[in-house]
Amino acid sequence: MKFFLDTANIKEIEEGVSWGCVDGVTTNPTLISKELVGKTDFKTLVKKILTIVEGPVSLEVTSITADGMVEEGKKLKKLGNNVVVKIPTTIEGLKALKVLKSLNIKTNATLVFSVNQALMVAKAGATYASPFVGRLDDISEDGMSLIEDIREAYDNYDFETKILVASVRHPIHVKEAALIGADVATMPFDVFKKLINHPKTEEGLKRFLEDWAKIDKSKLMF
């Protein structure tokens, strides 16, 4: 299972990559805009991210027409070989997915909320489908059950499209996604940090260090 960071913050990406557990990054216009205000420009920011991350980096189009999405996708792809063009799950988006597929440009179909949508974007040629589990939980639907259903549907027909679990709110989402067999989970940095934490690990380390402090260091072999 791949771990992606859902952020455009350079410090967060650099820190995550240093842990050896970050396989890629996803961004969206909201995340990008937070980093641009009074700080830098779009091209400089994106190129920096693409340099730090060896894996896929999803960059989202802002056009709402298929032609506009395709043109944006071509321009985004020129920024780096690891660019994945993020396309909305709409009728115009399906048209754009098909064209970008023919151009060998990798895509991420975003804002997926149903199995039917996941099937449609897979048939149109999306590299990734991004179901938003947290937003479904927000309206009293079970986001993770959608991941289970998409996994079953994709396995039934051997679709190559990868399931990228998005709108991850907490470590339990990551755990459940892994147990279901999702291909990727993308998450904010604060959720990513929580994956490694456990109170028993901290408790055990504290005990080991306290016991070690009692040893006469002069008798050590090294």
pLDDT in tens, 110-123: 999 999 999 999 99
pTM for the structure as a whole: 0.94
pLDDT in tens, 121-150: 999 999 999 999 999 999 999 999 999 999
Non-local (6+) Cβ contacts of 194 within 8 A are: 170, 171
The structural domains of the chain, with segments of one domain joined by +, span: 2-219
Dihedrals phi, psi of 43, to nearest 5 degrees: -65, -40
* Cα 40 to Cα 163: distance, rounded to the nearest angstrom: 32
Non-local (6+) Cβ contacts of 7 within 8 A are: 13, 25, 27, 31, 188, 189
| pLDDT at position 55 over 80 | yes
The pLDDT-based confidence of 35 (bands split at 50, 70, 90) is very high
pLDDT of residue 93: 98
> Mean pLDDT score of the chain, rounded to an integer?
96
pLDDT of residue 216: 79
| pLDDT at position 173 over 80 | yes
Non-local (6+) Cβ contacts of 222 within 8 A are: none
* Cα 215 to Cα 94: distance, rounded to the nearest angstrom: 66
| pLDDT at position 177 over 90 | yes
| pLDDT at position 222 over 70 | no
| pLDDT at position 27 over 70 | yes
User: Average pLDDT, stretch 64-93?
Assistant: 98
Active-site annotation, residues: 86
Beta bridge partners of 165: 185
Query: What is 2-219's CATH number, 3.90.180.10, 3.20.20.70, 3.30.1330.120, 1.10.645.10?
Result: 3.20.20.70
User: Average pLDDT, stretch 154-168?
Assistant: 98
